[in-house]
Amino acid sequence: MKLLLTGGCGFIGSAVVRHLLRHTDHVVVNVDKMTYAASEDALEAATQQSRHTLVKADIADAQAMHHVFETFDPDVVMHLAAESHVDRSIDGPSDFVQTNVVGTFTLLEAARWHYQGLNDERRGTFRFHHISTDEVFGALDHGDPPFTETTPYDPRSPYSATKAASDHLVRAWHHTYGLPTIVSNTCNNYGPWQFPEKLIPLVTLNALEGKELPVYGDGSNMRDWLFVEDHAEALVRVAEHGKPGETYAIGGRQPRTNLDVVKAICAHLDKRVPDAAGPRERLIRFVTDRPGHDFRYEIDPSRTEAALSWTAPHDFESGLAKTIDWYLANRTWWEKLRAARYAGQRLGIAPAAKGKAA
C-alpha cells in the first residue's frame, strides 16, 4: 500500500515511519509542517530509503493537501499531525485549534475529494485512520473503570478539547459522506526521540544534569503508559485491518502515578550512572498544580487486543530502561535542544509556575 502519513517527523509519527519501513513493504509519504517538536533525525534510516518521501507542508493548507493527494494517490491515510502539549495549550490555545481542528477538517476534505475519484475496488480498501488520545474522555477517579471505545467524551484542556473536536469531525465525515474513517485513542506514550518537554525525557535529562525534578501537586496523578514502538505496531495493524466506522482503544496496561514514574527514572539512572552527590530522589520538588490537571487516565484495550491479535510487548520497566538507555546514548541530539530556547524559556526548570512539571 501507499500510505499518506501526517506528522511523520513527530515523536509517534516517526516511530510509525520506522516501523513501516522495517517491517512492511508499504510506501510512505510523510507530510510534516516541521514545527519545533519535529525531527528529521528521528526518521533514522528512512531518509535514505526510496519507499519514504518527506513533504514539508501544513495540513491546514488546503491547496497543499489537494496537491499531495493528487501527486501521490494514497491508499490509506494515517493522520497523526497534532499539537499535543497540554501546558502549551493552556498558554496558547490558538495553535491547537488551527492544527488539530482546522487541519483535520482540511485533510478530511482533501481525502473526501480523493476518495470520490477512486474506482470501486480502491474505494473498498481506502482508509482514513485518525490517531487520537485518551484525554478526550476526561478524567477518572479512584475506582472508576478504565476508558473504553464507548466512554462518553468530557475533555478538560484546550488540547483535549481540540482533539475531541477532530474526533467528532472524522466520525461525521464517515456518517455524512461515507468516507471510510477509523479512530484510535491511546494513552501516554514514551520512548526514543521524544521531545524533552514531556515528562519522562524532561525528568531523565534534568536528573542527569542534577537539576530539580518538579512534580505537580503531590504526584498522585496517574497515567497509563505505552512504549511508542508498541503503539506504532498497533497503529499499523489498525491501518491494515481496522474496520471503517470503528474505534480502537490502544493501551499498555501499565498505570503509574507521576511520582512513581519519577522515582523509577531516578532509580534506573542511579544504577546506570551513579551521582556522587547521592540518590537522585533528593532532586524531587513538589510544585503548584497546573489548571485543570486531570487526575487519572487509563485505557482498557481488551477489544483492540482481541480484534487485532495484539498486546503491548513491553512492560513499563523494560520500556523505561530502553528509553533511558537511548537518551544516555544520544546526548548530542538532546543537548542541542537543551541549549536552544523555545517559547521564550529554556527547557527544564523555568521561573515561577511556567516550568513544565510532572
H/E run at residue 222: strand 222-227
The amino acid occupying position 96 is F
Contact 319, 191 (CB under 8 A): yes
Catalytic (active site) residue 41: no
Any idea which residue has 528529521 for its cell?
Answer: 40
What distance in Å separates the CA atoms of residue 53 and residue 73, rounded to the nearest whole number? Answer: 13
Catalytic status, residue 144? no
Count of residues in the chain: 358
Contact call for residues 208 and 273 (beta carbons, < 8 A): yes
Contact 96, 162 (CB under 8 A): yes
State the Cα torsion 104-114-231-242 to the nearest 10°: 120
159 assigned to active site: yes
339's CB contacts (< 8 A; 6+ apart) are none
C-alpha torsion sign, points 62, 67, 68, 70:
positive
Beta strand segments in 33-142, E: 52-56, 76-79, 127-133
- The DSSP line for 122-175 is HHHH-EEEEEEEGGGG----TTPPPB-TTPPP---SHHHHHHHHHHHHHHHHHH
Q: Rounded distance, CA 190 to CA 249, Å?
A: 17
| Among 286, 267, 258, CA closest to 200 | 258
Catalytic entry in 32, 87, 159, 327: 159
DSSP assignment, residue 199? H
Cβ atoms of 289 and 216 within 8 Å: the answer is yes
- Given the residues 32, 58, 83, 134, select the one marked as catalytic: 134
User: Which of 83, 135, 224, 230 is labelled catalytic?
Assistant: 135
Active site residues: 134-135, 159
